[in-house]
Amino acid sequence: MIAELGLGALWMAAALAVLQLALACGLGGEQGRSLRTIRSVAIAQGLLTALSFGALVWLFLDSDMSVKLVAANSHSQKPWIYKFAGTWGNHEGSMLLWVMVLALAGAVIASLERRIDEPTLGATLGAQAALALGFFTFLLLASNPFERLDPAPIDGRGLNPLLQDPGLAFHPPTLYLGYVGLSVAFSLAVGGLIRGEVGPSIARAMRPWVLAAWILLTIGITAGSYWAYYELGWGGWWFWDPVENASLMPWLAATALLHSVNVLAARGGLRAWTMMLALVAFSMSMVGTFLVRSGILTSVHSFAVDPARGSFILALLAIYIGGALTLFALRIAHVREGAPFEVVSREGGLVANNLILSVILGIVFVGTLYPLLAEALSGEKLSVGPPYFDSVASPLALVLAALMMIAPQLRWRRDRQPLLRRAAPGVLVAVTVLVATLLLAPDIGWLPRLGLAVAAGLVPASLQPLVGRSLRRTPLATWGMALAHLGVAVAILGMASDSAFTRETLSAARPGERINVGPWIVDFQGVRPIAGTNWTAIEAELRASKGGGVAVLHPQSRFFSEPPTTTNEAAIDSSWNGQLYAVLGERDEAGRWQIRLWWKPFVTLIWLGGGMIALGGLLALLGRLFRERRQRIRGEEAFA
């Protein structure tokens, strides 16, 4: 009955989405009464969708093999955490998770949003209902997660072993929360364009959602990068894989939107541009969903694919993106011009920031989709890999980082003060590091060399907005901006260091032999068989020494029986200045084991920087929310 309960709740939620859309279109009579009804319907829709998803979680935890989805993606002997993660480690479950987050976001808007006027809020909730309705239809007609299986098997087929990792168990939900958080910005933009109300109030309503979505996307991308680094055993942290790019594109658009929405909220500028970015950011989320769920990609990440159902998602994508862009084209002439500003100003810096981010987004978009389009039109398989992205996008990213050394220190509207003195600390540090690398490491490439210099210069520049202030009275939003920019500097330092100084050794060794990698001497002690909850493995013992320090690493080659799969489990030793990374390969005919070792100086700064960026965003979000709450309380006291 749990499956039938979940399916029934999904049908009722879909019906409420139809009702919500109809009411928002003006079929409910008097506006105020209609809006109250729309709010109630949106909340009920969110709760019913959550009930449906909860039912699916229950079925997975209970190992109910009479449900086709559970039998195909779980196993009764699997640890409970992976039964839980199996709920969304497949096509149907992940789409139900998507629509649940979408519906709950609509419920939160309906419950809490008071910044915009009632007609605009009604149009926004109508747009949110239209989005949800498409995905409800997709689930109910093409991807029913509660379909029964008769006869039911005793045990299921298990979950992809690559997904049986705590990091990836929580990685998809984090990204989904980010993706769908951008749906609110999309709906607010649609509502504002329909009603012709594009101004600071829309931006203030949009800003917390954009900021929260951006934080979650940052966490999701950072966690996904580290998962790929330690789980896939290839020693890299980013491969420009199309599915990686699918999460990066919304993040790039959200980053540009986050900066432009601040201009609109604070200064009333960039009105049309901000609305366009809000539409593009969620459109990139839709494109990402299509890439991952359509079956057109072969990737370690695209674990839930189906070409037939991909056509359905493509149709939704065309309707939503095409409809939104058409609305933008029809209504943009009615959007009032924003407040003017000069080129040398805070707004001017943010516009430059937006343009560079948009160009990088375009580069990633073309590089990701061009091979797919070329194959569809000509049948010829093309590959666009790291050389293209590194050579085109990375220099622009450094230009953006260099701009960050100056732009936050500019004044609003116009800045007639000399910039040189304000930019001097960052520029001085950058030039010093550039000269130092030329003298001490002449053999490294120009891109990592410039990355080290620009990142080093960005460190003092990020902290400059805090200089001369009373730190206790400095707004949380300013602390957040400084920390997020500092996180960018730290992450670039890690990337450049990894690119410039990593050392790699691939050996075929017998027990007792010695291998050198970077400053480390590694003794291969031997291998032994071990067993886990639902896997067996061959585990090597490596004793690594450097100076007076010793580290013992145990890389594994694991075998899962359900489904039959062999994976490499890397062993990593972390120290303050880098990581020693080891992978155990196969044994050759001569009895030697393939052992791959990397020494990666300061590579952990990449993920530390990602965490700092997300934490900076969280501080900014809390600062904005606290400030709005104080202003509301003061307003109520003044009115009383």
Least confident of 45-49, 221-225, 267-271: 267-271
Q: Mean pLDDT across the chain, nearest whole number?
A: 88
| CB within 8 Å of 74: residues ≥ 6 apart | 60, 63, 83, 86, 156, 158, 159
Q: Are 316 and 210 in contact (CB under 8 A)?
A: no
How much is the average pLDDT of 554-578?
88
- With bands split at pLDDT 50, 70 and 90, how would you rate the model's confidence at 29? low
Q: Which of 285-299, 375-389, 391-405 has the highest mean pLDDT?
A: 391-405
How does pLDDT run across 308-323, given as a tens digit for each residue?
Answer: 677 787 888 889 999 9
Bridge partner list, 549: 546
Measured distance CA(636)–CA(58) in Å, rounded: 45
- With bands split at pLDDT 50, 70 and 90, how would you rate the model's confidence at 304? very low
How much is the average pLDDT of 361-387?
83
Q: Report whether the peptide linkage leading into residue 563 is cis, meaning its omega lies within 30 degrees of zero.
A: yes
Measured distance CA(441)–CA(433) in Å, rounded: 11
Measured distance CA(469)–CA(463) in Å, rounded: 11
CA neighbor of 520 nearest in space, from 507, 536, 505: 505
Which has the higher per-residue pLDDT, 348 or 564?
A: 348
Measured distance CA(125)–CA(105) in Å, rounded: 10
What percentage of the chain reaches a pLDDT higher than 70? 94
How does pLDDT run across 198-217, given as a tens digit for each residue?
Answer: 888 999 999 999 999 999 99
Domains in the chain, CATH or no CATH each: 1-159 (1.20.120), 165-414 (no CATH), 421-501+606-639 (no CATH), 505-603 (no CATH)
Q: At what angle do helices 200-231 and 166-195 cross, to 10 degrees?
A: 160
- Mode of pairing for the β-strands spanning 571-575 and 578-587: antiparallel
How much is the average pLDDT of 529-535?
85
For 284, how many CA atoms within 13 A lie in the half-sphere containing its CB?
34
How does pLDDT run across 475-503, given as a tens digit for each residue?
Answer: 999 999 999 999 999 999 999 999 999 99
29 DSSP assignment: S
Which has the higher per-residue pLDDT, 176 or 300?
A: 176
From the CA atom positions of the chain, what is the Rg in Å? 26
Measured distance CA(186)–CA(210) in Å, rounded: 10
237 DSSP assignment: S
How much is the average pLDDT of 558-563?
80
| CB within 8 Å of 132: residues ≥ 6 apart | 13, 17, 45, 49, 99, 102, 103, 106
Least confident of 2-11, 196-205, 345-354, 382-391: 382-391
Measured distance CA(109)–CA(102) in Å, rounded: 11
The pLDDT score that the predictor gives to residue 533 is 76
The pLDDT score that the predictor gives to residue 378 is 75
How much is the average pLDDT of 241-247?
87
Say whether pLDDT at 300 is over 50. no
The pLDDT score that the predictor gives to residue 295 is 61
The pLDDT score that the predictor gives to residue 303 is 43
Q: Which residue has the tokens 């929310």?
A: 625
Say whether pLDDT at 225 is over 90. yes
How does pLDDT run across 98-122, given as a tens digit for each residue?
Answer: 899 999 999 999 998 888 888 899 9
- With bands split at pLDDT 50, 70 and 90, how would you rate the model's confidence at 301? very low
- With bands split at pLDDT 50, 70 and 90, how would you rate the model's confidence at 244? confident
Taking phi first (over 0 means left), then psi (-120 to 50 degrees means alpha), and beta for anything else, what does residue 601 get? Answer: beta
- With bands split at pLDDT 50, 70 and 90, how would you rate the model's confidence at 89? confident
The pLDDT score that the predictor gives to residue 296 is 62
What percentage of the chain reaches a pLDDT higher than 90? 56
Which CB contacts under 8 angstroms, 24+ apart, belong to 92-96? Answer: 92/139, 92/143, 92/144, 92/145, 93/56, 93/60, 93/69, 93/145, 94/172, 94/176, 94/293, 94/304, 95/135, 95/138, 95/139, 95/143, 95/145, 95/293, 96/10, 96/52, 96/53, 96/56, 96/139, 96/145
Measured distance CA(293)–CA(310) in Å, rounded: 6
CA neighbor of 177 nearest in space, from 103, 287, 101: 101
The pLDDT score that the predictor gives to residue 290 is 78
pTM above 0.85, yes or no: yes
Cα separations (Å) of 442 from 101, 391, 457, 495, 599?
A: 51, 20, 20, 18, 20
CA neighbor of 412 nearest in space, from 229, 270, 243: 270
- With bands split at pLDDT 50, 70 and 90, how would you rate the model's confidence at 375? confident
The SS3 call for residue 569 is strand
Bridge partner list, 538: 529, 557
Say whether pLDDT at 551 is over 50. yes
Say whether pLDDT at 302 is over 50. no
Mark out the alpha helices in 77-199 (DSSP H runs). Answer: 80-86, 91-112, 118-142, 166-195
Q: Which two tokens stand for residue 213?
A: 């979505």
Written in H, E and C, the secondary structure of 597-623 is EEEEECCCHHHHHHHHHHHHHHHHHHH
Which has the higher per-residue pLDDT, 79 or 28?
A: 79
